[in-house]
Amino acid sequence: MKYPGKESATLEFKSTLPGKQQIVSTVIAFCNNFGGRLIIGVDDNRRVVGLPDDSIDELINSLHQSIFQSATPVILPMIYSQRLDDKIILVIEVSSGMNKPYFRTSDGMNNGTFIRVGSHTLKATPEIIQELQWQSRGFYSDEVPVYTSTIDDINLDLFRLFLKQRKNDYNSPDINKMLMQYRLAVEEHKRLYPSVAGILLFGHKPQKFITESFIICSHFKGTSGREALASFDCGGSLFNQLNDCIAFVESRLSRSFKIEGIKREEQLEIPLKALREAIINAIVHRQYQIPGPTKVAIFDDRIEIFSPGNFPGPLQSDELEMGITYLRNSAICRIFREAGYVEKLGSGFLTMFKLYREHQLPTPTVIEGTGYVKCILPRPVLQRPLIQLTEHEEKILELFDVHEEISPQLVNKILCVSRQTTARILSSLVKKGLIRRYGAGKSTRYRKY
């Protein structure tokens, strides 16, 4: 018999009784995350193997005692047996704790705190432990105060502009009150501190306080990532990062043209809105306590968007099209929604998958790894008809093996021909759809499609 369900952030199987330390670590991890069930008597293939009937009662009492004595704060799980056909299994059920972080008493908080990452139990980093402490005080991750900053580090003019332009217009003479209402600032001991969200969204210099809160955009040749063609760091506020990142990626994707009546419509090789949703999702839901930037990498066959941190709730990758939403950064989500960047919570992945289906493109993939989420957007394989090329045209195309872009001056130097001949050859390649031109005058450049 197969057990209904598969291993996840909230479910773990063990075919036999593991050691005491392993059981306590798993129970602590469930308590620090979203709760969960440890089921003993089911193997990794979900096959119910069962436990000896005569030892169940004694085992339940022993586990209650071990968990009670080994965890701080105290954890009181539900432990019970369940019969499936002719086999009996043991279930240890734990709720999400209210007094996080929970840890193994013998190891202390720094070394004995565990969390669930996908279907694995891992030791928590100092940044995760700090986040758990704030969770127990009722704060979302982005509502934590940045004690090294002051309200002067917030661009209040930019925040006022947001208040003026947002969908539900409301004017308040007390700007500090509005900052606290949006959880962009936190008052402690009669002093106002910007929150993580306040610094990231409206800070003058966000990276001064949250150093890894930027996006590295890279364009690689081929599919392996060994040779970088271009790279750009997107810094500043989250709004600046989003706009700069989309501009970088969009400029390096191919375009096609479609005639509708008398109008010529330009189409990107992948749906721009799908790209936008994927990048917004990475920015809004990433774990900013983890020291590491968001990364966007362009390959010949795909775009990868790497976001530090795991799913903010007990989600599986195959559940993303269900519209289920869990928040890690409540204040950031609210600002992005009211600023018009997010239509409604839970719609980002739905929109992305839908647009890829409508454009008959391969399905995007979302992977949850150890401390990261990666979204992979496939790029179409461009099939070009056989085109007759002259010897000079072939030499020009070979230049793109070592240059991301070329100038007429470079072509003129390589081919040793007149400027007029260079212009004619380049114009021919543009008409054949093999290269594209941008800029004007001495700034004219050509890039391969």
Measured CA to CA, the distance from residue 40 to residue 14 in angstroms comes to 5
- How does residue 169 score in pLDDT terms, banded at 50, 70 and 90? low
The string of pLDDT tens digits covering residues 310-338 is: 887 777 766 676 666 778 899 999 999 99
- Regarding whether 368 and 275 lie in a shared domain, the answer is yes
Other CB atoms closer than 10 Å to residue 330's CB: what's the count? Answer: 15
Q: What pLDDT does 206 receive? A: 96
CATH code of residue 433: 1.10.10.10
Q: What pLDDT does 47 receive? A: 93
Closest CA to 72 of 11, 22, 31, 120: 31
β-bridge mates for residue 297, sequence order? 218, 304
- Regarding whether 368 and 223 lie in a shared domain, the answer is yes
- Regarding whether 410 and 280 lie in a shared domain, the answer is no
**184-188, 349-353, 398-402: lowest mean pLDDT where?**
398-402
Q: Is residue 131 part of a domain?
A: no
More confident residue, 53 or 68: 68
- Regarding whether 156 and 87 lie in a shared domain, the answer is no
Q: Is residue 177 part of a domain?
A: yes
- Rounded to the nearest integer, the mean pLDDT of the chain is 88
Q: What pLDDT does 399 receive? A: 87
Q: Is the pLDDT of residue 205 over 80?
A: yes
Q: What's the domain range around 434? A: 391-448
Average pLDDT of the segment spanning 407-413:
89
Closest CA to 332 of 275, 274, 283, 276: 283
- Regarding whether 196 and 148 lie in a shared domain, the answer is yes
- Regarding whether 169 and 307 lie in a shared domain, the answer is no
Q: What pLDDT does 369 receive? A: 80
Domain boundary among 160, 184, 209: 209
Based on DSSP, count helices (H) and strands (E) in the chain, helices before strands.
15, 21
Q: Is residue 107 part of a domain?
A: yes
- Regarding whether 439 and 350 lie in a shared domain, the answer is no
For the ranges 116-120, 131-135, 260-264, 372-376, the one whose mean pLDDT is highest: 372-376
- Regarding whether 152 and 96 lie in a shared domain, the answer is no
Q: What pLDDT does 121 receive? A: 92
Q: Is residue 321 part of a domain?
A: yes
Q: Is residue 383 part of a domain?
A: no
User: Do residues 444 and 411 lie in contact, with contact meaning Cβ atoms separated by under 8 Å?
Assistant: no
Average pLDDT of the segment spanning 178-204:
95
Structure tokens belonging to residue 196: 């993580």
Domain boundary among 90, 123, 156: 123
CATH code of residue 67: 3.30.950.30
Q: Is the pLDDT of residue 405 over 70?
A: yes
Q: What pLDDT does 127 receive? A: 81
Q: Is residue 223 part of a domain?
A: yes
Q: Is residue 386 part of a domain?
A: no
Q: What pLDDT does 323 receive? A: 64
- Regarding whether 186 and 334 lie in a shared domain, the answer is no
- Regarding whether 297 and 225 lie in a shared domain, the answer is yes
Average pLDDT of the segment spanning 171-189:
88
Phi, psi of 84 (to 5 degrees): -125, 110
- Regarding whether 220 and 200 lie in a shared domain, the answer is no
Per cent of the chain over pLDDT 90 is 56
Establish whether the linkage from the previous residue to 101 is cis, with ω within 30° of 0: yes
- Regarding whether 186 and 38 lie in a shared domain, the answer is no
Domain boundary among 184, 209, 234: 209
Q: Is residue 129 part of a domain?
A: no
Sign of CA pseudo-dihedral 44, 48, 53, 57: positive
Per cent of the chain over pLDDT 70 is 92
Locus of tokens 């100038």: 407
Q: Is the pLDDT of residue 385 over 90?
A: no
Beta strands in 147-188 (DSSP E): 185-188
- Number of separate domains in the chain: 4
